Structures are given as structure tokens and as C-alpha cells.
Structure 1
Amino acid sequence: MRGLGAVSLSLAVVALAACAGAPPVTATRSAPPAPPVLLMDRAALADARAGALAGRADLAPAITELRRAADMAMTATPVSVAEKTVAAPSGDPHDYVSLSIYWWPDPAKPDGLPYLQRDGQVNPEATDIQRYDGAKIVRMVGSVETLALAGFLTGESMYSEGAALWLRTWFLDERTRMSPSMRLAQIIPGRTEPRGTGIIESRQLMRAVDAALLLEGTPAWPAADQDALRAWFAQLVDWLLGSAQGQMEGRATNNHGTWYDAQVADFALVAGRADVAKDTLAQVGAKRAMKQINDDGHQPLELVRTRSFHYSAFNLLAFCVLGDLGDRVGVDVWHASPRVRNGIDFLTPYRDGTKAWPHPELKDVDYPAELAPILARAARAYPDAGYDRMLASLSAKQSALGALNLRLGVFG
């Protein structure tokens, strides 16, 4: 849903393939019926898979869209942090490097240094893939997510194999892998002081975690690959908890702190460190919700931003992600503080754009796009809130695949 922008991203039954206008294919149906994902909805995934394989008519348009997106991802070459032609400041080609997106050259200086902040205004330099990896991480997770979902729902093994190739390239291959740290994320040219804020970009990797878990048990993704990925995330958890930059981000009192907790919990769970995840999740109510959200639901530190609705929704999505992760390990984040629900209720009157948002907002807001992922998760946690009806109204404006992704809990 966030940050640097929108993400890019075989039918097992001949009749469904024909309906989609595709040639008949031979499907591999080895994926488990209820995958051990962390953020997607396991029951909804199993139901959608059964429906897709059975050729259910209501799913056909979404599956057609999904196959089209997956076919496009199959034609692309997997990206890597090691592709940069401008060396990382560390000299290590495996380091993830990105530009802090709201920082710009100083027009009063010949060399533009040090860069100056323009909150809410994205510097297009950030998308330069010769120097930075910010655009590449978004492309990677979008491709992996699309391919893994297509492989799971359709049973067509080539999509699972494509997802596995992207995962190996980014995380496992010694020539192309990313080092498990974010020490050079969101650098600011001309400023050398250590910063933790770039860690928010690795939240995207939660999508790669779920994609890998969709592949678990398939020939495309052997146990050795999954073990190696778990070890990679264990190293990242150690860095998040033990590095000065990680600890700085953990102390953040706005959306950065909430997303930090979401990452620590998610990555600890995939790494087999449930104790770390449970400890993090148990503190969310008192440490985050009670301090970031007022009783009436407004979030003071997000409302002062130049994109106040966007960041209010962005922070609430992190709380919803934490709520779903808590459900995986028996920690009730959803009801640890009433302020999470209050925060959602503060935003829902603006969901269709007919009521004017009274706070600063630098850009036009796509209210349905901002709120729908929140409502999709919150509707399960608060069945009496009416969020399901609000979501149904917003989903009607989505593409078939967009509506299916909301039902499945797809993160992006």
C-alpha cells in the first residue's frame, strides 16, 4: 500500500483456462490447501484455490487478471541489489542503498549538498536503479507476491518456479543476495549522521515472507531454500534489535515505530523466534496505540504531516498488520487498546471522498485505496463495527483482482 508507490507486479482446470482465453495447461497441485502464511487469510486462500481449480465462475475474472500479471512477471529478469553501477557508500555491492525520498539538493549550493527536506514531495532521484535499490525492492516483492499467488491459486508450477527464482536472486544467491541489514536505507547526501528511518522500507519484505510461505511444500521451493531464507531473516532480526539504527527506529513514536514492531514480529516468526514476536506484540497496546492515538482516534504526529490522511491510514495499517500477527501467536493486539478501533473510526467518514478532510494533505487522496486494506483486516477483528459493509462498498470500485486481493489479505 505504501511509500514509494504502487507495486508492479495456469489454470489447473482446462475449462477455466479456456474461459480465460488461455491454452490448456497441466497443473501441479502440490501446494498445501491452507498455507502457513502470516499476513494473508489462510482460509480465504484455501477457498479461492479450491474455487479456481474447480472453475468457479465468480473467480474467473480475477484469475484471468492474476494470470496476466504473472505472465508479465515471468518475462522480466529478477532484480538484485548487486546490479547498481554506482558503488554503495560502504563499497559492498550487497548492501541495500536508498535515497530518503523527501530530501532534495540545496539549490543554493553548487554541489547541492547537504540535501534539504521537502516533506511529502518525492525526489525522483530515488527511483534511479543505477544508484539506489528503493524501486527495486518494490518491484521484487510485487513480482514475488504475484507469481507465488498465481502458482498457489492455479496450481501451475511455472509461476511457483518463477517466484522461487526471484526470491533466490534477492535473498540467497551469493552473487546477487542482499545483506540482511538496512544500514544504508534512506541516506541523505551530504549528511552522515546515522539514521534509523530507512528501516521502514524493509516492511516490504513482509510480502516476500508470505510469498515464500505460499511456496512451502512445493517442488519449486525445497526445504533447504526455506531454511536458508529463515536464516536470512534471523540475521535481519538480530540487526533490527541489536544495531544502533534499529534501536533508534524502535524508539520512534510515529508510524515508523509501529512498522518497526510489525517487521520485528513478522521476521521473528518466520525465523522461528516466536518469543521475540510475542514480546513485541504484547507491548503494542501500551507502547504504541496508547501513545500515538488519542481517545477520539486522531493521531497527532501523523496529522501534522503534509500528507496527514495518508500517514494516518499508513500507521493504522501497521496496527492492523500487528493485530493479524498477534492472532497467529495468541496475542490479542486488536483489543489491547480501544484506540486502534477509535483510529479507524476517525478515518471512515472520509472513505468515499464526499466529506472533506480538514487536515493538511499535499496530494489528492485515493480514500478507498487508503482505507480498504485497513477495513479488510479490521472487519474480521471487529465484526460488530460495520466495516464489512463499508468494505463491500469500496470493493465494488476495485478490479476483480483488487477485490480478490482484499479478501485474501494481500498486503500490497
Structure 2
Amino acid sequence: MKVRVERDVLAEAVAWAARSLPNRPSAPVLAGLLLKADDTGLVLSSYDNDTSARISIAAEVSDEGEALVSGRLLAEIARSLPNKPVELTADDSKMELVCGSSRFTLQGLPVMEYPALPSLPETVGTAPSGDFAQSVAQVVVAAGRDELLPVFTAVRMEIDGYTVSLLATDRYRMALKEFTWHPATSQASGAALVPARVLSETAKSMTAGEEIALSLSAGSSGDGLIGFEGDLGSGGVRQTTTRLLDGDFPKVRHLMNIQPALSVRASVADLTAAARRVALVAERNTPLRMLIGEDTVTLEAATGDQAQASEAIDAVVDLHGSGEPAITAAGFNPNYLLDALGALDVPYVNFAFTAPGKPCLLTGLEDLAGDPQTDYRHVIMLMRLPG
């Protein structure tokens, strides 16, 4: 194999493909990055038996062939090279990399032992890459991190004709995002549990082109596969696949239809800034208190007698129904509240409260007098307040 490629193009491609390499590979070859040169250019691939990444880039190919080398080492080398064209030459035992006066020799790994990457399943539709990335980012904040409970580390993707729904929960908060896309058929339908980490990284890394194509195969237990493909905007293509998770996702959609007894509307920016300041003195595992007044909300937190903080923010408070307010104070996990506010892409937020200790629904508002948006809904389980 003999290839000449631009330094920036190579460095970006290696970094993208190497990001999926496992920290503790089950076999030495899975720590490798596979480079394959043919008359179409250069293709770089990685695979950990669950998630695959494949990227094709333009290159001058003198001799076709393939090589397998340490992916993390190649990524570090490519990132450090001077801004000059890079020449790659490989045989069965090693690969040489020359860039200006810099020269590296990397030991080759056995290509014949490298597993075949899965093919992309059938394409079921496309979505604008920017909209898809934003939608995923709004939902993954609510996904769990505990690998011992894998179903909570997933995003449930539901396809129903021209609508895609993304749903995630870690049991203490839930996020739902719905957006329109371009299905391959108007009768498109299906559901999949996609690892949240892989989905998040994939969505963020495929915004160079205008669209991202989604492929899906629902095989037997443990065999389901989802794939994504996006253009680089310069003739190259990025593709990734990952194995779907098994399990029954909890039925939490009904929590997205809260009928409020009390609603609070306020500026996202003002609430975010105040919550960050007040949370500085919040004791671990204690709530950030929101005291609800007639036209303000006050955030409070404390660490015993050592430190206290409070800050009031202007708000529009509406009581739904007659009688006294069902709730005058609410306890939020400060990190959950900040995550939810950060996921909103509009200037105002609407809190829908039902009763103390019950779930609270957050939705976005374009203006304080407008109707809450329903395409993105975020639910936080309130913490119990002392007394």
C-alpha cells in the first residue's frame, strides 16, 4: 500500500475512526485501525464487536492494499504532524509514515485476524444533520450512566411515519423529543434501544453534511443493528453501526402529559445563572429549593450552618383551578435542573407542578405569553423537602 494524503484530512479521519476504539480490547487486533487503499481513495475503519466506524477520504493511491496498526498511536502521530502532505507506505509487517522531515515506522497487526465489519442495514430515512444532532443532545442528558442497568443507558428511538421520537430516562428524570424527518416510505415504523453514548457521539460527529441517513435492522435477540451515514462535504463519507440493546424500556410516556395545578414561567438564562450561583453552597444529595411567590421564584440552598444562598427571579405564576396553591415550594436536584435548562433551545421555560414530591414537567416557550412547546418535554422527579 502506498498513499499520499493531506495532513489535515488524515488527522481528522484518524481521530474520528479511533474514537470508537475500546479501552480494553478483548483481542489485540481490536485496538487496531484498518487502512484500506483502492482506486476510490483511502478508507479507515475501527470495530469493537459492538460498534463500528468507517470513514472514506480522498487520497492519491499509488499502490492498493491494506494495513492494520495501533489506532490510538496513529491518532497521536497524525495530530502532531507538520502541515504538509503525508505519505503512507505499508507491507505485511509495518507501515511507514513520512510528513516533511518527520518519519515514523509502526508495527503492523495481522490483517487476516481482523473481524469483518458489519454492513449498513437498509436505509429507513434521512434527517437534517443539524436537527438530528440537536434532538439527540436534548435527550441524552436524561440517560443513565450505570452500565449495570443497560436499558437505562439507552435512548428509545420510535419511528412512526414522518415522526421520530427519542426518549431517555435514568428513573429520576425523563426527556422526550419529537421531530419530523424524511422516511423511505410513509408507512415506516419501528423502535430500537440505541446506546446513548454512541448515539450522542455519532450525532455530533456527522454535522458536516446536510443530511444523515439512518439504517435499521431488527434481528433476533441481540442481533439488531442501527447504522448512520453522513457526507463530509468534501467527497468523503462517514458510516457507523452499533448493536442495539435488549430489554423492555420503562413505560414513562404518560408522565409527559402532566395536568398542572400550578405553572411557573421564567427566563431560562436568568434561572440558569441563579441556579449555578446558588448551587455552589448546596450540600451533596440535598435539594435546591424553589420557593414560589406571586410573581417571583426564589432559589435557595445551604450547607448546614456554614453557607447559605438565595436569589429571586421574576416569574409568571399561574394557579390552575380554585383554592390555595397545591405547591409553594419544590426541591430539585441542582444538576438535573441545570441539565434540563441547558437542553432548552428557547428563551423561556414553563414548569408544570402538580403536588409536592410529584414529577415536574419542563417545556420551552418562545415568549412568556405563548403556549408551551410540545416537541421537547423534560420531566424531573422532585426531591422531598425537610418538614
Q: Give me the TM-score of the superposition, normalised by structure 1.
A: 0.21
More strand by share: 2
Q: Give me the TM-score of the superposition, normalised by structure 2.
A: 0.22
**Radius of gyration: which is bigger?**
2
Higher RCO, 1 vs 2 (CA within 8 Å, ≥6 residues apart)? 1
